[in-house]
């Protein structure tokens, strides 16, 4: 994981780009992983933890999207990324929404997560489903996999 974060930081630094995050179920774990790397402050703008529906709406996530699709949905992950980009003007945004368990919100499923990514106007949302992991293992697995997916996404775009 550290190597991948280092690669992402080096990529962004070389191009003088910035990175911001918006997390829900990960509770700042993704930002923590980034800021554990020396030199992250050169590219990492910072992040939001929008754990509640109210916090998501306060950030600028469209309430109509949450009402239509729910708190844990691809559209909501994308809206979280877009709202964060509007607030920070960062070049790379990564957002997380999911149900880590033991219960699920909005009739979703425990173990379901969506990660939104915005990179200089290009977007992507990844869906994950790991219903048999503990909360901690679920968060760690999604963070690790997301880092690899982001690295691939950056190299493709």
Mean pLDDT of 36-47: 97
Residue tagged 């992040």 (tokens) = 47
The Cα–Cα gap between 157 and 154 comes to: 5
Q: Please state whether beta strands 19-23 and 92-98 pair in parallel, antiparallel, or not at all (unpaired).
A: parallel
Residues 4-20: pLDDT tens digits?
999 999 999 999 999 99
What confidence category does residue 98 fall into, taking pLDDT thresholds of 50, 70 and 90?
very high
The Cα–Cα gap between 96 and 105 comes to: 14
Which sign does the torsion angle of CA 20, 25, 27, 30 carry?
Answer: negative
As given in the structure block, the two tokens for residue 78 are: 């994308």
The Cα–Cα gap between 25 and 4 comes to: 22
Q: Please state whether beta strands 122-129 and 112-119 pair in parallel, antiparallel, or not at all (unpaired).
A: antiparallel
What pTM value is reported for the model? 0.96
Q: Which of 41, 27, 34, 35 is nearest to 4 (CA)?
A: 34
Predicted local distance difference test score (pLDDT) of residue 107: 67
CA distances from 127 to 114, 142, 145 (A): 5, 10, 11
With beta carbons less than 8 A apart as the criterion, state whether 117 and 90 touch: no
Name which CATH class applies to 2-156. Answer: alpha beta
Residue tagged 């994950």 (tokens) = 128
- Is 86 in a helix, a strand, or coil? helix
What confidence category does residue 26 fall into, taking pLDDT thresholds of 50, 70 and 90?
very high
Name the average pLDDT for the chain: 95
Mean pLDDT of 103-124: 90
- Strand runs labelled E in the chain: 19-23, 44-49, 92-98, 112-119, 122-129
């Amino acid at each position: 994981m550290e190597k991948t974060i280092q690669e992402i930081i080096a990529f962004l630094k070389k191009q003088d780009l910035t990175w911001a995050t918006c997390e829900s179920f990960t509770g700042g774990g993704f930002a923590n992983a980034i800021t554990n790397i020396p030199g992250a402050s050169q590219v990492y703008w910072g992040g939001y933890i929008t754990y509640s529906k109210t916090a998501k709406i306060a950030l600028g996530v469209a309430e109509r999207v949450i009402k239509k699709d729910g708190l844990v949905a691809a559209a909501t992950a994308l809206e979280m990324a877009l709202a964060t980009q509007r607030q920070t003007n960062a070049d790379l945004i990564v957002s997380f929404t999911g149900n880590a368990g033991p219960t699920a919100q909005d009739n979703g499923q425990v173990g379901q997560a969506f990660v939104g990514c915005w990179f200089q106007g290009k977007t992507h949302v990844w869906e994950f489903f790991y219903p048999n992991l503990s909360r901690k293992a679920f968060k760690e697995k999604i963070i690790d996999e997301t880092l690899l997916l982001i690295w691939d996404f950056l190299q493709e775009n």
